Amino acid sequence: MSNEHPRAAMAKAFRETALSLIGLFQIYEVDPDLCTATAEAIGTVFRRHLRQVPANGTDTGHSPLHKLVDELDRAGGRSV
């Protein structure tokens, strides 16, 4: 098994977690600061695991968790 398989699996797991949180946060109308802090924490753990630096995102139309999902998609080999 190459190193890309575990990397893609990890990206998929983090992606599914972030997508679940997006839904929960929307249902319960969570404070935007909590959403931002959660996205930063999950992203930090994910990047530390893969020893990556965060991608610079300039899209202001997405929440921090949506941006994290986009980053996880790229890391998992999906096109965004």
Number of structural domains in the chain: 1
With respect to residue 14, please indicate whether it lies within any of the assigned structural domains.
yes
- Nearest CA to 14 out of 55, 80, 56, 74 is that of 74
Q: How far apart are CA 72 and CA 79, in angstroms?
A: 10
Q: What's the domain range around 41?
A: 6-55+64-77
* CB hemisphere CA count around 5 (13 angstroms): 2
| Residue 8 confidence (pLDDT) | 84
The CA distances from residue 42 to 2, 16, 39, in Å, are: 25, 12, 5
List pLDDT tens digits, range 33-73: 999 999 999 999 888 877 765 666 555 567 888 888 888 88
| Residue 78 confidence (pLDDT) | 74
With respect to residue 1, please indicate whether it lies within any of the assigned structural domains.
no
pTM for the predicted model, two decimal places: 0.66
With respect to residue 33, please indicate whether it lies within any of the assigned structural domains.
yes
Supply the DSSP string of 57-73, one letter for each residue. ---TTS-HHHHHHHHHH
Q: Say if CB 6 and CB 63 are below 8 A apart.
A: no
